[in-house]
Each structure stands twice: as C-alpha cells, then as structure tokens.
Amino acid sequence: MKARVTIMPQAAVLDPAGVATAQAIEHLGISGVRSVRIGKSIDLDIEGVTQEQLHQICRDLLSNPVIEDYHLETLS
C-alpha cells in the first residue's frame, strides 16, 4: 500500500520561497497569480502500518506543527 503526505506551510507563516517564485512568474510575463505557497509531497510504501501510526509519523517527523499542516491520503 502507498501513502502520500502533503505538507504545506500554515497560512500565517511567511513562505519566502513561495514569494520569490510568485515574483518569478511575473517576470515570466504571466500576471494573475496572486500567491504561491510551496510545500512538499512525501510518498511512503507501507505494509502493516496503522492509520494511527501514519499520523504519528506525519505529526512527529514529517511535519512541524508549529509552522506546517499535513494532509495524509492512502492510495492502494
């Protein structure tokens, strides 16, 4: 089974990489992109891992709850 974790910076947290990318899009000549937020996506290949354990992995290691939110989806 596979699990995909998407981690995004919380709305209130400054994301300087996203801001810089948004500026680059403008320089590309495309307007209308109001903001960019950069997160990361992590795929796990799992066997016999419970949902609870998956959440523990996300909470304690993959994301930092002070600045990030995670979204967990399992793909069969």
Partner 1 sequence: MRCAVLQFPGSNCDNDALVALRSFQGVTAELVWHQETSLDGFDAIILPGGFSYGDYLRCGAIARFSPIMKALRKAADQGKLILGICNGFQILCEAGFLPGTLIRNRKLLFRCEPVFLRVEEIETPFTSRCAPRQIRLLSKLAAGDEEQEVAARRRGVYKEILDEASTDTTQLFAPAVEFRKKSILRLPIAHGEGCYTADEKTLKELQEHHQILFRYCNEDGEITAAANPNGSMDNIAGICNRQRNIVGLMPHPERACEALLGGIDGRLIFESMLSAASQQV
Positions in the binding site for partner 1 (CB under 8 A): 12-14, 16-17, 20, 61-62, 64, 66-67
Coil, strand, or helix at residue 20? helix
37, 8 in Cβ contact below 8 A? Answer: yes
Kindly state the smallest distance separating residue 66's Cβ from partner 1, in Å: 5
Instruction: Map tokens 């793909």 to a residue.
Output: 75
Kindly state the smallest distance separating residue 60's Cβ from partner 1, in Å: 9
Q: Which is nearer to partner 1, 46 or 68 (CB)?
A: 68
CB within 8 Å of 26: residues ≥ 6 apart: 33
Kindly state the smallest distance separating residue 27's Cβ from partner 1, in Å: 15
